[in-house]
Amino acid sequence: MARVALVTGGTRGIGEAISVALKDAGYKVAANYGGNDKAAQEFTARTGIPAYKFDVSDYDAVTAGIGKIQDEVGPVDILINNAGITRDGVLAKMTFEKWNKVLQTNLTSCFNTCHAVVGGMRDRGFGRIVNIGSLNGQAGQYGQVNYAAAKSGIHGFTKALALELASKHVTVNAVAPGYVETEMVMAVPQPVLEKIIKQIPMGRLGKPQDIARTVLFLVADDADFITGSTLSINGGHHMY
């Protein structure tokens, strides 16, 4: 029987690429999304992957949403924590609301989703958790104290949870993308984007599929000796 994978933020950008790659590799996939119903409907029509709407920052909504997925698709063996938002601004001008929204959506969501699935993974003696961090969680970024803090927190969360679950044959790893060709990055003014590309030794932006291929590697059954690691997929932009 095919293993079930849940991808949060899984209907657009990097999340969509991960969802599609997992399906193409033979996994049963459920994609979570937070608000864009039209994009989610188009995603499901295009890929055949069911999309489930719930707010990953809301513990009760996550519990109910994952419960529904497990009833309809099956027990979650693979969890990809990809959901994330930005609310940029320098600290002096950042509101608490912008700080808290990013921390809750990008970091607390990892607790919420993992809390809902690790019990089953432990009982079944198998699980793969991959948390999507960021280059900016490793190196920092001007105007992103909230985002950098949340993504940096993901890296620590990953290591600690990996220690807790290793004896149960559940691996927990992180992927830290650099600048990738998503709607958010491509909306950056062209002169700024050109400066960013010049800082990347490989001379290009990443593609969502670059991240998806790394996730496929980490969730494979035979990737069972890799845990607590962060793989940096950034074209050499930041070596950490």
Active site residues: 147
Neighbours of 188 (CB within 10 A): 13
Cα 67 from Cα 219, distance rounded (Å): 22
Cα 34 from Cα 31, distance rounded (Å): 10
What H or E segment, with its residue span, contains residue 51? strand 51-53
Which residues fall within 8 angstroms of residue 214, CB to CB, at 6 or more apart? Answer: 175, 231, 233
How is residue 50 written in tokens? 């069911």
